[in-house]
């Protein structure tokens, strides 16, 4: 190492030092500690008691709440994720039309995505109110009696999904940026070759957008598994645990019931689910994501 | 001069076909506008309903059929909401958290990114990949150990747990800043070095002033995330007076029977700072998201 290189390395490490300290405190320590806690029974009042794999055994064999929270979360992901992906793409295609005033529409559709989960939840409690809410009022104009939405066993989860789909503008904006990166020459060339609009969409737009779709799919996947605020604010997991999402269960176990050991096992399980889903998507991506070069 | 009738005919045809094309385009535009406007109305309906409710009298809330636009808007509802709920207090708390987090992000991210973008040292790539992989780790996994740690340090019910992490750099911002700094030509550093500037004065005099777009993204995102944050404040805070606005509103909704006309006003007020920041910064916001979406 020359003196200059040594000086560079020193400056580099110095610049990184806040992050390295932060990594140990805010990442490495908590992750390792969670793994350790998950093998213990611990209510904070007394020192942890080592119970080996007991927490996991309980989770997989005799915990109905684990099953129902996993079911609710999976259902939510299955309903909201594909819908958001498709509707987001359709909205982005609309927003990409070259028409004066489109910027104003972009602003409008993106608004739901920047408002906090709490404000959105509160707004929607009132919006979907079975008696005085807008949706049931509009339905009543057509002689339809609207459901009880958040207060109905079968409608609560779809209602939460609809609310999350309302935020589709966030995804649409990302797709829009992807669309605008597609070189115009490709469309011109295709037009000269006589490709139809439909053909251009399937042969140019969609393949060139796959990297953006892939990125957004991963972000939304992780996000969907972490659904929490809506259950906390609106439904409290009900009715009959139909919206008892996994992270809400984790929160109640850890910070209401102080079952730190069992909650750690739950947290780790959710991490494994999210990571495997992500790895699965990344694995399949080689088949459908188009990369130049 | 004679005019060729065939030519006249051709130009007449051309004019006619342009007119036809223009008419077709007009119809097409009209259709798109109709679709976009109706979609926008559907999307804005929940927000519109919140605003409309906030201006009603209590007895109008249950009126049938409902009044879409209150004929007698009660602007006094807002004053009443501020008196009834400690809105000003909660928003001030949120503002304190936002400012503290923005300062932390601005102090940490550029320095750390500078290390990654400009210097070579052993294990740099390993550290970079490690940092990126932390972006994928969902936050909930860290909550229990951090809660216990803060409990031991007697930091529960203070703002430290909600502020400290920002000062150690968030992977997302470090990544964003690193990518941005890599696009700044190194010749600028070299020129400053020849003039005798050290590495830190190069960072603060040359590089940071050129990073304004990326720094704007950092500020805007920190604002939105901190203002909207919910899970961490409900875990780390206990005292009602210290709640940020998100937790404060949820707390009132969960505990008391709600007077919806006041509460919808309060909710609307709570999102106004977000909307203001969003309107002024949307170009940067979208640009930042897009940069990450495409390069990440």
Whether B79 contacts chain A with CB within 8 A: no
In chain B, % helix, strand, coil (3-state, to 5) comes to 80, 0, 20
Question: How many structural domains are present in chain B?
Answer: 2
Whether residue A248 has pLDDT greater than 70: yes
Confidence of residue B7 (pLDDT cuts 50, 70, 90): low
In DSSP terms, A50 is beta-bridged to A40
Give the Å distances, CA to CA, from A38 to A71, A267, B111, B147.
22, 9, 36, 15
Intra-chain end-to-end CA distance of chain A, in Å? 36
pLDDT at position B295 = 43
Q: How many CB pairs under 8 A join A and B?
A: 250
| Residue B158 DSSP label | S
Average of pLDDT values for B245-273? Answer: 89
Whether B144 contacts chain A with CB within 8 A: yes
Give the Å distances, CA to CA, from B250 to B99, B190, B240, B245.
22, 54, 12, 9
What is the CA angle A257-A261-A266, rounded to 5? 85
Residue B242 to residue B86: CA distance in whole angstroms: 11
Query: Would B73 be classed as within a structural domain?
Result: no
Whether A224 contacts chain B with CB within 8 A: no
**CATH value at residue A249:** 1.10.3720.10
Give the Å distances, CA to CA, from A98 to A205, A263, B51, B289.
16, 51, 32, 22
Which tokens in the block code for residue A1?
Answer: 């190492």
Query: Would A108 be classed as within a structural domain?
Result: yes
Question: How many structural domains are present in chain A?
Answer: 1
Span of A15-29, A45-59, B254-268 with lowest mean pLDDT: B254-268
Query: Would A33 be classed as within a structural domain?
Result: no
**CATH value at residue B104:** 1.10.3720.10
B154-202 residue pLDDT tens: 999 999 999 999 999 999 999 999 988 998 899 999 999 999 889 999 9
The three state secondary structure string of A242-291 is: CCCCHHHHHHHHHHHCCCHHHHHHHHHHHHHHHHHHHHHHHHHHHHHCCC
Average of pLDDT values for B210-232? Answer: 92
Pick the most confident of A42-46, A276-280, B256-260. Answer: A276-280
Average of pLDDT values for A252-280? Answer: 94
Q: Mean pLDDT of all residues in chain B?
A: 88
* Chain A residues with beta carbon closer than 8 angstroms to that of B119: 8-9, 11-12, 15
At residue A49, the 3 state secondary structure works out as: strand
Query: Would A158 be classed as within a structural domain?
Result: yes
Full DSSP string of B66-127: PPSS-SS--THHHHHHHHHS-HHHHHHHHHHHHHHHHHHHHHHHHHHHHHHHH---TTHHHH
Nearest to A8 among B119, B168, B293 (CB): B119
Whether B13 contacts chain A with CB within 8 A: no
Whether residue B203 has pLDDT greater than 60: yes
Which tokens in the block code for residue A87?
Answer: 């509707």
From chain B residues 185-214, the ones with a CB under 8 A of any chain A CB are 199
Instruction: Give yes or no: residues B156 and B104 share one domain.
Output: yes
Whether residue B93 has pLDDT greater than 90: yes
Average of pLDDT values for A166-170? Answer: 92
Instruction: Give yes or no: residues B49 and B95 share one domain.
Output: no
pLDDT at position A194 = 86
Instruction: Give yes or no: residues B91 and B229 share one domain.
Output: yes
* Chain A residues with beta carbon closer than 8 angstroms to that of B230: 116-118, 228-229, 232
Q: Please, which residues have CB within 8 angstroms of residue B292's CB and are 6 or more apart in sequence?
A: B172, B175, B176
Q: Please, which residues have CB within 8 angstroms of residue A231's CB and are 6 or more apart in sequence?
A: A160, A237, A243, A244, A245, A248
A81-134 residue pLDDT tens: 999 999 999 999 999 988 888 888 988 999 999 998 899 999 999 999 988 888
* Chain B residues with beta carbon closer than 8 angstroms to that of A106: 286
Range of the domain at B30: 5-53
Residue with tokens 């649409």: A172
Decide: B170 and B157 in contact? Cβ < 8 Å: no
Query: Would B182 be classed as within a structural domain?
Result: yes
Residue B98 to residue B115: CA distance in whole angstroms: 26
Nearest to B286 among A134, A173, A274 (CB): A173
Whether residue B296 has pLDDT greater than 50: no
Query: Would B75 be classed as within a structural domain?
Result: no
Range of the domain at A280: 62-288
Span of A13-17, B62-66, B226-230 with lowest mean pLDDT: B62-66
Average of pLDDT values for B246-275? Answer: 89
pLDDT at position B294 = 45
Whether residue A56 has pLDDT greater than 60: yes
Query: Would B251 be classed as within a structural domain?
Result: yes
Whether A12 contacts chain B with CB within 8 A: yes
Whether residue B292 has pLDDT greater than 70: no
| Residue A41 DSSP label | E
Domain end among B31, B53, B75 = B53
* Chain B residues with beta carbon closer than 8 angstroms to that of A25: 168
Span of A167-171, B19-23, B86-90, B191-195 with lowest mean pLDDT: B19-23
Residue A106 to residue A91: CA distance in whole angstroms: 10
Buried (b) or exposed (e) across B198-212, using 16+ Cβ within 10 A?
A: ebeebbeebbbeebe
Taking the CA atoms of chain A, what radius of gyration do you get in angstroms? 24
Query: Would A252 be classed as within a structural domain?
Result: yes
């Amino acid at each position: 190492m020359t003196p200059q290189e040594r000086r560079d390395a020193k400056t580099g490490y110095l610049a990184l030092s806040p992050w390295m300290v932060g990594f140990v405190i805010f990442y490495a320590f908590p992750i390792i500690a969670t793994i350790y806690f998950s093998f213990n029974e611990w209510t904070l009042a007394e020192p942890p008691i080592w119970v080996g794999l007991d927490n996991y055994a309980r989770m997989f064999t005799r915990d109905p709440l684990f099953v129902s929270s996993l079911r609710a979360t999976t259902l939510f992901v299955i309903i909201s994720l594909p819908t958001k992906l498709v509707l987001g793409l359709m909205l982005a295609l609309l927003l990409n039309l070259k028409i004066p005033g489109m910027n104003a529409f972009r602003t409008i559709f993106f608004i739901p995505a920047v408002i906090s989960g709490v404000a959105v939840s509160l707004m929607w409690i009132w919006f979907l109110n079975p008696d005085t809410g807008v949706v049931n009022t509009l339905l009543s104009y057509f002689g339809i009696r609207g459901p009880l939405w958040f207060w109905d066993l079968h409608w609560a989860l779809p209602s939460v999904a609809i609310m999350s789909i309302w935020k589709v503008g966030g995804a649409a904006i990302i797709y829009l940026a992807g669309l605008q990166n597609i070189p115009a020459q490709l469309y011109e060339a295709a037009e000269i070759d006589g490709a139809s609009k439909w053909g251009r969409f399937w042969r140019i737009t969609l393949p060139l957008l796959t990297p953006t779709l892939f990125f957004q799919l991963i972000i939304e996947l992780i996000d969907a598994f972490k659904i929490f605020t809506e259950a906390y604010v609106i439904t409290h997991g009900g009715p009959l645990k139909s919206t008892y999402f996994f992270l809400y269960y984790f929160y109640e176990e850890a910070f209401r019931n102080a079952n730190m050991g069992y909650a750690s096992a739950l947290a780790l399980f959710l991490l494994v689910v999210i990571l495997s889903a992500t790895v699965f998507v990344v694995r399949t991506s080689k088949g459908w994501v188009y990369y130049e070069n | 001069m004679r005019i060729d009738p065939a030519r006249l005919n051709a130009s007449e045809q051309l004019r006619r076909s342009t007119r036809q094309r223009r008419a077709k385009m007009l119809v097409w535009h009209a259709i798109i506008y109709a679709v976009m406007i109706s979609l926008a109305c559907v999307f804005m309906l929940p927000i519109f309903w919140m605003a409309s409710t906030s201006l009603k009298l209590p007895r109008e809330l249950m009126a049938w059929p409902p009044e879409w636009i209150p004929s007698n808007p009660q602007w006094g509802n807002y004053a009443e909401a501020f008196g009834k709920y400690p809105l000003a207090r909660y928003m001030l708390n949120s503002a304190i958290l936002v400012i503290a987090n923005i300062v932390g992000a601005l102090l940490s991210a550029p320095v750390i990114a500078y290390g990654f973008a400009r210097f070579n040292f052993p294990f740099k790539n390993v550290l970079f990949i490690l940092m990126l992989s932390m972006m994928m780790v969902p936050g909930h996994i860290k909550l229990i150990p951090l809660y216990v740690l803060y409990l031991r340090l007697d930091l529960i019910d203070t703002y430290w747990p909600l502020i400290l992490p920002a000062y150690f750099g968030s992977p997302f911002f470090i990544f964003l800043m690193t990518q941005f700094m890599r696009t700044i030509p190194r010749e600028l550093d070299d020129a400053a070095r020849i003039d005798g500037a050290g590495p830190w004065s190069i960072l603060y005099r040359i590089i940071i002033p050129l990073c304004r777009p990326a720094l704007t993204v950092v500020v805007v995102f920190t604002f939105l995330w901190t203002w909207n944050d919910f899970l961490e404040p409900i875990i780390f805070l206990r005292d009602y007076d210290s709640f940020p606005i998100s937790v404060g509103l949820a707390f009132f909704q969960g505990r008391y029977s709600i007077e919806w006309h006041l509460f919808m006003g309060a909710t609307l007020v709570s999102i106004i700072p977000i909307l203001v920041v969003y309107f002024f910064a949307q170009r940067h916001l979208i640009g930042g998201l897009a940069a990450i979406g495409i390069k990440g």
